Structure 1
Amino acid sequence: MKAILTVNSGSSSLKLGLFAEDLSTLAMCHVDRIGRREAAMKIHDAKGRGLPMPDHAPKAFATNTQALRTALEVFRADFPGLEVVVIGHRVVHGGISHAAPVRLDEETMKDLARLAPFAPLHQPHNLAGVRAAAELFPGTPQIACFDTAFHRGHDFVNDTYALPHAYYARGVRRYGFHGLSYDYIAGELARTEPALHAGRVVVAHLGSGASMCAISGGRSVDSTMGFSALDGLPMGTRSGQIDPGVLLYMLQNEGMDAGQLTDLLYKQSGLLGMSGVSNDMRTLEGSDDPHAAEAIAYFCHRIRREMAALAASMGGLDGVVFCGGIGENSAPVRAQACAGMDWLGLSIDAAANAQAARDIGAGRVRVLVIPTNEEIIIARAAKQVMG
């Protein structure tokens, strides 16, 4: 059986998708907390049924390569004669040069490695996943799919910072991220809601990483994330938008160095830092700690603020789509994020929202909940690049 493998390799997680040549899903795998004792693998077929792990499989996974080996063993046991013909990878940053999926070779890998300072906690792990797959599948074509590519058509004013132009020329500009997710949502709207797809839509990708995107006529025109995956909304452990003067203060008056500041902004801030409880929205919603409620309130406040700003970038708003782990599963966040937005034509049907319906709007602006699927976007791109 010939198949397409998709790999989304993070710092402590690994997501794999196995697809037939017709792009039907065969199996999915998610490994969380790699490198820690509680690391665990969840692997299931297209119907959601768990696939048996081999008896000798490790109970925890020290590296992405080890996790990939085990998942591959499970795939081969359940799909006899499995032949992976192409591997698609999520790569967070494509820089200025990469606005479409590309077949990877050594020169391209070196080019992408040079972008690591632009995405220090993502790019190195994405590329490590490529190397692990190359070790296990020598000679198999590997395709990079970029989170930044969907946003590469922005107007200059939505891409630049008010810095000397030389920095813009060197790549210090707004890129936007979560493009694979937004690409999928735009495609689903074209397929199921053509009138809305032709209009002005804000998509809120809300999860451990969170951002929002203004999509007009199926094209990204603005995004809350900028130069890095730190900007915009607060996230699980990331700060989101912050006055650069605060960073100067931290460096000059708190005695922090660049490494400590990176750790603070990427790992100790966001919902975790504000609440002091957890970076997991489910835990915060179940907590009676007042700081947990404050963190949720700030998260939703920023969603409302960014929603209005993105609507201004498009000259109006016809629809809002929630996706991502929080966007798809948290009715309270969706309700709070849309509260008080009637002036924009945006309101929620409380009963439909509580029942996790697809269409939860009660005003002029359509409000939809659509589960995203980055893996199928990667698989489609890998197949297309290979012809």
Structure 2
Amino acid sequence: MADAKVIPFDDDRSRAGERRTPRRAPAANGNRDGHPAEPVPINKAAANSASTKGTSGKGGSGGRSGAKGRRGRALPEQPSAPHDERMEQRGGAAREADGASGDSRGEGGGDKWERRIAGGLKFLRRRLTGDYEVDDFGYDAELTEQVLMSVLRPAYEKYFRVEVKGIENIPSEGGALIVANHSGTLPLDGLMLQVAVHDEHPDQRNLRLLAADLVFALPVVSEIARKAGHTLACAEDAERLLARGELVGVMPEGFKGIGKPFGERYKLQRFGRGGFVSTALRARTPIVPCSIVGAEEIYPMIGNAKTLARVLGFPYFPITPTFPLLGPLGAVPLPTKWTIQFGEPIPTDGYPPEAAEDPMLMFNLTDQVREQIQHTLYKLLVQRRSVFF
């Protein structure tokens, strides 16, 4: 297999996936006998209304109603609608578009499947020939969009039924640092957060997660993490990404958050020394607090085999009600209902350049972010009807 071409980071998203618009049948000028069709009166009010809807769907003055979904179709304005309602609306729009395509060509879903097969074959050919691009961090935009996101999406939509709130707090362009709580024994919350930003944001932005050293020390996992845009949790990499206008995700609790006992669920651990604040101050990018509810219960950690963890080189070895008692079946997460809420961004561009070296300012900003996330967690827990519904 040929080697992939390495391109500058700014061009890593230049290869957009192919999107074809459904073909429409040409307008008929007469009936089947060849005679001219009778003139049809035009309702000007209806025509104006249809014209208005058509233009607002393209992002003109329609605000979020003009935002495009994953398939490039216009979505209705529902920034905080429940997940089931959003899925029903998306499914209806997809069925309507597919029906229109089927009517125009008389092939129904066959034409859609032909396009998918053709696109899949092109994708495989590019992978086999090495005709694809990665950036200097190893991020493979095409593989992430067409494969990794497709693998994670069923868990996001059907299994955990993630509901997203406050997505409008993530800027449409430019760098931003998203700071979230960390939990769940295994880092599934980071993956679901990545899908949420990509699928729910109007501009389908990609989130570049900062991961611990252990992730890049594991075989297979490290390669997939690099392809998905993750990078080492260090200030230098984070600053480079932010300077290039990327969204960067960080979970300052680290292993202390993800490996805490079930009895301490939704109680934030220490946020380190505020290194993420210093990074945001140097890059002069906003900090977006993020609260995730639902991940704490997927693997209720009731014990920690510390000796075994030390032998294996892990920070902890979890014992749950199902693992290791049920073996591989115990590794299946519980189907909890998730909510991800993005808070109002905290600007950093108003501080002088030397503010990144001020320990008191970093402590205050770190505490402000932590308190905002903790307060939102408590609020979401009060509003939650059930762990699973």
**TM interval, short-chain normalised:** under 0.3
Find the structure with the greater CA-based Rg. 2
TM value normalised by structure 2: 0.27
TM value normalised by structure 1: 0.27
- For CA contacts below 8 A with separation 6 or more, give which structure has more relative contact order: 2
Higher helix share goes to which structure? 2
Higher strand share goes to which structure? 1
